[in-house]
Structure 1
Amino acid sequence: MVFSGQSNTALAEKICQHLNIPLGRSETQKFTNDNMIVQYSESLREGDVFIVQSLSTPVSDAIMELLLMIDAAKSASAGRVTAVIPYYSYARSDKKDAPRISIAGRLVADLIQAAGADRVLTMTLHSPQVHGFFKVPVDHLSSDVVIADHLRARVPDADQGVVLAPDAGSIKRAAAISHRLNCGLAFIDKQRVSDTAVDPRALIGDVQGKRVFIVDDEISTAGSLVEAVNFAKRMGALEVYVAVTHGVYTGPAVQRIRELDAVEVASTNTVLVPQEKVDGTDGKLSVLDVAPLFARAISNIHTGESVSTLFE
């Protein structure tokens, strides 16, 4: 049984289409005092329940709705409850890198488990170590195969290009996509100049006269993306394509992408991208579908098969 919160119902519906089952019926109401209530409209007794909810804007509402849905499912005697979180926004807060702060990634994990989730299914955590914050089984999907297939279809001679990691922390992800495309690999070495600013210092690899594929886990305000694209062009890149897992697109992101010297910016539908944002980039923005991948993972979890075989 698959149910959806309000953050990304479109993805949940597509997942159900691939599973050939109807999307479960539930209702979420918000009272004038900002309190929420969630109610299921069908029996969940002994069901294998999957609740799809991206932790996207408004994030606090998305988290609270997910917790209520998990708790309500457990109270309704569901046999097993899996929290399907395509985008786990608090994964950036994975360590105490400043005094007197919370490790919010761990806190949210604790809340999800306290609500009663038996397992978690997510995709491309910004910090993979967040996986370890959970004491329940976690299936961590990767969008690499979807991104690589898209780039191969978009650029026929993709094997002659170069996958560029925008920073050293993204090298592992970039290397995986480079391997799938059978093309070159490069990364940008950055230097922190202040608490809020990071400048590119050098490009390790060769992009001169080549098509460059910048890959990352997410785009928020697109500030770092602008730096990476401009630096690649200064280093002689012929064309630049961008592909990320999570297209959050907050603040000035749409305007920056519209003015970006790149052929295309692609992200998956782990986060719902409104049509007005797509239209606002003059055709540069495209959305890739990961519903088939989530559907296969949910099917394998339900039947007790391996999820890792989806990436072999």
Structure 2
Amino acid sequence: MPAMSEPKLIAGNANRPLAQAIARRMSLHRGAPVSLLDARVERFNDQEIFVEMYENVRGEDMFVIQSTSNPANDNLMELLIMADALRRSSAARITAVIPYFGYARQDRRSRARTPISAKLVANLIVEAGIERVLTLDLHAAQIQGFFDIPVDNLYAAPVFAMDVQHQFRDRLNEVIVVSPDVGGVGRARELAKRIGSGLAIVDKRRSSPGEVADMTVIGEVAGRTCIMVDDICDTAGTLVKASDLLMSEGAKEVHAYISHGVMSGPAVERITNSTLKSLVLTDSIAPTEAVRAAANIRVLPTAPILAQAILNIWSGTSVSSLFEVDTLMPIYEGVFGRD
């Protein structure tokens, strides 16, 4: 599909530094300035959300950048209201760029009389007038099917692979990728395939939601450098326990790569005091000061891959090309150290 007009970006309050970084990256790629739409997204005294745009958007190809992270409900409402304002202002197309898709963990009925909140959120997004969604590492791939509009789900795995290959370049032969639970085996296998390593699994049994009763390791980790990979780190309880278990099984050291750093409650303190050598997050959720100050936490940027995906959507070219390291390497030039 030919480009309709210049791509225009608007950002909510969830992660403005990421939105600004995306705009800078797009400016670099295009050789022309791309800036965030001049708008205000604020709250009345009763916390109702109000959006006003100071630029004409009639006939424009609009990209709304907004993670639905904590506070999830406020950020989701900002996204919906921005989309409604754009639709009523005659934007040609509205794409929601949602680096972290909140409510994704509620993707099925886990027991009787519970909701499928991810489907409800998908319905709200479509009804608000959004015509396409761009996101990163959905908690469950089948959520794409909850939408009756196109959904482009990018993957952090190739970015993680590039970082692992740089950070552990002198000892890749001793690296093993570990899934912290059985449900994440597919994600771990994908990273292991990209870096050419073996795979192990931490099998956990929960006594109640959020409580892990027992954990066992499937696979040989003794003397190995373990790389745990998962999509979400919330309170970090499972991650820390899995690290302790791997160390008790003879692992040399343990690192973790997580797509979305929710980092609720005691998460940062737990990571800081844990046996984890390092935790690597993306900035799909704006890192707090505590996260940035933690000695064993690093943050990888998502602006390069998201900016290129936005440009590909705008120009009607392939987004799936961004699943490969060879395509991403030039985009991430300078992000990873060079010898």
The answer to whether TM tops 0.5 is yes
Query: Which of residues 106, 127, 138 is equivalent to 1:93?
Result: 106
C-alpha contact (below 8 Å) 1:48/1:80 kept by paired residues: yes
Cα pair distance change 1:78/1:210, threshold 3 Å = same
Corresponding residue to 2:24 among 17, 36, 52: 17
Query: Which residue of 2 is the match for residue 5 of structure 1?
Result: 12
CA RMSD of aligned residues (A): 1.2
Report the alpha carbon displacement of residue 276 of structure 1 after superposing the two structures with TM.
3.0
Does 2:302 align with 1:290?
Answer: yes
TM-score (norm 1): 0.97
Structure 2 unaligned residues grouped into runs of 5+: 1-7, 28-33, 325-339
Query: What is the DSSP-based 3-state SS (H/G/I as helix, E as strand, rest coil) of the residue aligned with 1:89?
Result: coil
In 1: Cα distance, 2:216 partner to 2:277 partner = 23
- Is 1:161 equivalent to 2:175 in the alignment? yes
Q: How does 1:68-87 map to 2 (within 5 A)?
A: 68-87=81-100
Q: CA deviation at 1:158?
A: 2.5
The answer (yes or no) to whether the contact 1:200–1:231 under 8 Å persists in 2 is no
Task: Check the 8 A contact 1:239/1:263 in 2, yes or no.
Answer: yes
**Equivalence for 1:203:** 217
In the alignment, does 2:149 pair up with 1:142? Answer: no
Q: Does 1:177 align with 2:191?
A: yes
Alignment CA distance shift 1:194-1:68 (3 Å): closer
Report how far residue 193 of structure 1 moved: 3.3
Give SS of 1:49's match. Answer: strand
Of 269-278 and 51-60, more deviation after overlay is shown by 269-278
Q: Which residue of 2 is the match for residue 265 of structure 1?
A: 279
Distance 1:195 1:37, change over 3 A: closer
The residue that corresponds to 1:223 in the other structure is: 237
2:113 pairs with 1:106: no
1:116-162 CA-partner distances (Å, limit 9, x unpaired): 00000001111211111100000000000111111222122224310
Aligned-pair distance for 1:310?
A: 1.2
Aligned-pair distance for 1:278?
2.2
**Letter of the aligned partner of 2:18 in structure 1?**
L
Opposite residue 149 of structure 1, the aligned amino acid is: M
User: Tell me, which stretches of 5 or more residues in structure 1 are unaligned?
Assistant: none
Aligned partner of residue 302 in structure 1, secondary structure: helix
- In structure 1, the residue matched to 2:312 is 300
- The code of the aligned residue for 1:136 comes to I
- For normalisation by structure 2, the TM-score amounts to 0.89
Which residue of the partner structure matches residue 39 of structure 1? 52
Give me the identity figure in percent.
39
**Contact 2:240–2:276 (CA<8 Å) still a contact in 1?**
no
Which of 210, 232, 236 is matched with 2:250 structurally?
Answer: 236
Q: Residue 309 of structure 1: CA displacement? A: 1.0
Deviation at 1:41, TM superposition (A): 1.4
Aligned to 1:58: 71
The match for 2:201 is 187
CA distance in 2, matches of 1:264, 1:206: 21
In the alignment, the residues of structure 2 paired with residue 183 and residue 64 of structure 1 have an alpha-carbon distance, to the nearest angstrom, of 42
Shift of 1:194: 4.1
AA partner of residue 12 (structure 2): G
User: 1:77 is aligned with what amino acid?
Assistant: S
Which stretch of the first structure deviates more once superposed, 114-123 or 151-160?
A: 151-160
